[in-house]
Amino acid sequence: MFSRMKTLLAGAAMVLVATNVQAAPIKIQWWHAMNGVLGTDVDKLAHDFNASQTKYEIDPVFKGTYPQILTGAIAAFRAHQQPAIIQVFEVGTATMMAAKGAVYPVYQLMKDTGQAFDPKSYLQAVTSYYSDANGNMLSMPFNSSTPVTYINKTLFKKAGLDPDKTPTTWPEVEADAKKLRAAGVACGFTTAWPSWVLVENFNALHNLPLGTLDNGFGGLATRLDFNNPLELRMWTDLAKWEKTKIYDYGGRADTAYAKFASGQCGMMMESSASRASVLASKIDFGMGPLPYWPDVKGAPLNSIIGGATLWVLKGVPKEQYKGVAAFFAYLSQPKVQAWWHQNTGYLPITTAAYDLSKSEGYYTKNPGADVAIKQMTRGTPTANSRGLRFGSFVQIRDIIEGNLEQVVAGKKTPKQGLDDAVTQGNALLAQFQQANQ
């Protein structure tokens, strides 16, 4: 706390100095949630930007987990001590968007500061999640990923399956999983981030809405309605498969990852950003897109993303905003983006960075690394696959996963579980609407 105040004071002092003497750079605080290797990568981004010019200095501060950053930033904002840039996970988007007096939309920032900015150079499937109904970019995509399918090639061979063929449809997943089980593998497939994979992306892939009013893009009056026949069929199958361990529920967040990494499950649906960890686990693995139901017309559409974006907060000293805009422009440069993408496994956010990685031969050298981006960019995003904009979504995810758990454990019928998830989630949406109107 005190050290932060000190840096803030130091920052303020520097700002004062900067107006008189040109030399001292303007300090800009950036709160992020990237620790470990990713934290080092973030530091390098900031360092390289700082070295590229002399006017501004980005100061990256690790602030804990995503929820901690959001809570911390809100507390700081209420105390008028907010940083200029905060990293917010995708499910916090609605909270940030609703806080009109607190956030400085990126498109507005770029316009106000006169920074050259071409929204069309960004990958639509990435930016659409973070744009308003008119397509204006509200936050800067930073680390984006999407769920894909991983297979354990060793176990596939053991079961007499073709290790170079990742199943692409649900019937294929079921058939492969059955063969894996018959060969003595403990579980066929598992899913990390159950709500993200089995509900959010599932509906997007099949061009079905998760909620009304274009998944919440159309306003706060949105309500969930994903208790559709296809989702019901999926949950019914999951409950059925759990009994014979064709499917094995592996817990919330990415705890299911352990089931795949320990060689218990032959397949896993998990974030594309986990590729690096799977690589490190020494498992001989293959990657493919998420499965879909082939009897659904128009499927599969593009998948939707997860990860986080950078939001700009209002109320910091004015001269910092030009620096923020310059930093965002720097981050969007093809070279910087391609480095970030190749180094971390997150998706590139501009077409140019994707093309650059292609021409550098990155994808031929790293098979599987382009599965996510191909899946993200296939077809044109519809209102159902553009993204989600629901308030209280962290808790709604909890509710969805809580009900899925009860269905898979046989405590609720799939219909009851789905209906309950929708009803309970809608109660939170109603409260969010009231609080933010």
Partner 1 sequence: MIAKRVTFKRTGLPLALLAPQLAVTGIFFLWPTFVALKQSLYRSDAFGLRQVFTGLENYRALLFHGNYLATLERSGFFAGCVTVLSLAVGLVLAVMADSLGRSGRIWQALLVWPYALAPAVAGVLWAYMFDPAIGPITHALAHIGIDWNHVLNSGEAMTLIVMAAAMKQVAYNFLFYLAALQAIPKSLMEAAALDAAGPVRRLFSLIIPLIAPTTLFLLVVDLTYAFFDTFGLIDSTTYGGPGNSTTIMVYQVYKDGFIDQRFGPAAAQSMILLLLVGALTMVQFTLVERRIDY
346 makes contact with partner 1 (CB under 8 A): no
Number of residues that bind partner 1 (CB under 8 A): 41
Which listed residue (408, 418, 422, 429) binds partner 1 by CB under 8 A? Answer: 408
Closer to partner 1 by Cβ: residue 275 or 412? 412
Which listed residue (71, 244, 364, 380) binds partner 1 by CB under 8 A? Answer: 71
Closer to partner 1 by Cβ: residue 342 or 392? 392
Residue ranges in 99-128 that form contacts with partner 1 under rule CB under 8 A: 99-102
Do 378 and 390 touch, CB atoms closer than 8 A? no
Angle of the 393-408 helix axis to the 414-436 helix axis, nearest 10: 170
Residue ranges in 365-394 that form contacts with partner 1 under rule CB under 8 A: 392, 394
Note the maximum CA span of the chain: 76
Which listed residue (115, 154, 395, 413) binds partner 1 by CB under 8 A? Answer: 395
Q: Which stretch binds partner 1 (CB under 8 A): 16-24, 52-60, 165-173, 428-436?
A: 428-436
Closer to partner 1 by Cβ: residue 132 or 355? 132
217 makes contact with partner 1 (CB under 8 A): no
Which listed residue (64, 67, 135, 294) binds partner 1 by CB under 8 A? Answer: 67
Which listed residue (8, 15, 24, 74) binds partner 1 by CB under 8 A? Answer: 74
Closer to partner 1 by Cβ: residue 101 or 361? 101
For tokens 């981050």, name the residue.
331
Q: Which stretch binds partner 1 (CB under 8 A): 1-9, 96-104, 287-295, 372-380?
A: 96-104
244 makes contact with partner 1 (CB under 8 A): no
Query: Least distance to partner 1 from the beta carbon of 343, Å?
Result: 29
Residue ranges in 250-289 that form contacts with partner 1 under rule CB under 8 A: 250-253, 255, 258-259, 262, 264
Q: Rounded to a whole number, what is the distance in angstroms from the first to the last CA of the chain?
A: 33
Counted residue by residue, the chain has a size of 437
CA distance 306 to 308: 7
98 makes contact with partner 1 (CB under 8 A): yes
139 makes contact with partner 1 (CB under 8 A): no
Closer to partner 1 by Cβ: residue 40 or 431? 431
Integer-rounded Cα Rg, in Å, for the chain is: 22
Residue ranges in 289-318 that form contacts with partner 1 under rule CB under 8 A: none
CA distance 392 to 277: 30
431 makes contact with partner 1 (CB under 8 A): yes
Residues that bind partner 1 (CB under 8 A): 67, 70-71, 74, 77-78, 95, 98-102, 249-253, 255, 258-259, 262, 264, 392, 394-395, 398, 401-403, 405-406, 408-409, 411, 424, 427-428, 431, 434-436
